[in-house]
Structure 1
Amino acid sequence: MGPAFEALADPVKSFHRTRGRRTLHGWVRTEAPASWPARLLARSLGTPLHPVSGAIRFELDATPACETWVRHFPGKTMRSRMRLVKGELTERLGPTLLYFQLLAEDGRLVMQLRALKFLGIPCPRWALPRIVAEEEGRDGCLHFRISAALPLIGQVAGYTGYLAIDAEVPSNQ
């Protein structure tokens, strides 16, 4: 992100400066996939299949080469791997490889989808999912909002919540 990184809120910068292994705790609300095809895709990606609210445990293993993110939702664990490739962030999520541009907007980190490969096959631009992937910092927490929906299939994944970056975890919101 270069100089734009400094425009992010402090909890967001703190989270993304982490190196090594770290476990964070917080709260999350998940949404169910919108249709049976969306449910099949969600299953292949490892994303939550049922709407739930509750505690989340997030394990981060950050090295200079890549980051492994393990999200322990209530009743479901989702793993992905992040790498920087030619100035873009790539995220490997099951059989899917997503390519994102990172932007700073009003102190928030916004991940804008640029391309996607499923089972190694490039997705045509017209079929790209609508993805919202945003992080913001407030009250010592990293707040996140994630959703992914495909044309004709509907929402495949959706979850919102926060991770406590400082020692104290706020009450559920």
Structure 2
Amino acid sequence: MDRAVSHPVPPTLFQQALGAAFFKLPAPVRTLHAVRGTARYAGIASVERGRNPLARLCARIAGLPGAMQDVPITVEFTADTRSETWHRDFAGTRMHSRLAYKNGLLREQIGPLQFRHALLANAGAIWWRVAGVRVFGVLPLPARWFRGVRCRESEHEGRYEFSIDARLPLVGRVIRYQGWLLPVDDAAG
């Protein structure tokens, strides 16, 4: 008699980072971060950019989108057990990042910057706290410079919502973007 051998499905990056707390998150947040393979999401986003010339320079170096209000956004997620790639399109302006989980931190590469985030699940949301930043993956920047970076993922009215606000000392706001996403099959509804 042939018996199929069952192999456990390896955890996604966010399941690794959050452990059991991942499974207590609202369904839209869990679904987005349980992607294996490729998934496409769509929604609406708004972007506010800082006015300080140094803030504009920082945003340009990181490849962040310009200011826009209530524009269509699509995000394509490609994920396996070791990494994820996020391709964001804010009404034609593209932003890419690559994520990996190592040594208890989620690492996000955006342009020449590698952010190292500690993730916390609390009150139905994922909170990202910057634990370190490196330029080109090698040159460390002081973590205290990034205390003003706030990232939150949550659910509202059955949709995945995101809010990112990045402020730096002496520079002020670099960028703030927020919005919502649904799987592409559900986004038209």
TM-score (norm 2): 0.84
Indicate conservation of the 8 Å contact 2:52/2:171, yes or no. Answer: yes
Q: Does 1:51 align with 2:68?
A: yes
Which segments of 5 or more consecutive residues in structure 2 lack a partner in the other structure?
A: 1-17
Equivalent residue pairs, number: 171
What CA deviation, in whole Å up to 9, does each residue of 1:41-97 have, x standing for no partner? 111111112233211011111111100001100241100000001121000000101
Q: Does 1:25 align with 2:36?
A: no
Selected match of 1:3 from 20, 24, 38: 20
Indicate conservation of the 8 Å contact 1:66/1:83, yes or no. Answer: yes
Q: Distance in 1 between matches of 2:144 and 2:182?
A: 37
Q: Distance in 1 between matches of 2:44 and 2:26?
A: 20
Alignment root-mean-square deviation, CA: 1.7
Provide closer, same or farther for how the CA distance between residues 57 and 170 of structure 1 changes in structure 2, counting only shifts above 3 A.
same
Q: Distance in 2 between matches of 1:30 and 1:170?
A: 22
What CA deviation, in whole Å up to 9, does each residue of 1:94-114 have, x standing for no partner? 010101111111110111111
User: Which residue is equivalent to 1:155?
Assistant: 173
Which segments of 5 or more consecutive residues in structure 1 lack a partner in the other structure?
A: none
Selected match of 1:132 from 139, 150, 161: 150
Q: Which is greater in Rg?
A: 2
Structure 1 segment 81-160 matched on structure 2, within 5 A: 81-119=98-136, 120-160=138-178
Q: Which amino acid aligns with 2:81?
A: P
Provide closer, same or farther for how the CA distance between residues 63 and 21 of structure 1 changes in structure 2, counting only shifts above 3 A.
same
Relative to total residues, which structure has the larger helix share, 1 or 2? 2
Q: Distance in 2 between matches of 1:89 and 1:68?
A: 13
TM-score (norm 1): 0.92
Q: Which amino acid aligns with 1:33?
A: G
Indicate conservation of the 8 Å contact 1:39/1:49, yes or no. Answer: no
Indicate conservation of the 8 Å contact 2:106/2:116, yes or no. Answer: yes
User: Which residue is equivalent to 1:67?
Assistant: 84
Q: Percent identity?
A: 32
Runs of 4 or more, structure 1, over 3 Å off, are: 165-171
User: Which residue is equivalent to 2:6?
Assistant: none
2:161 alignment partner, SS class: strand
Alpha-carbon deviation of 1:166?
7.7
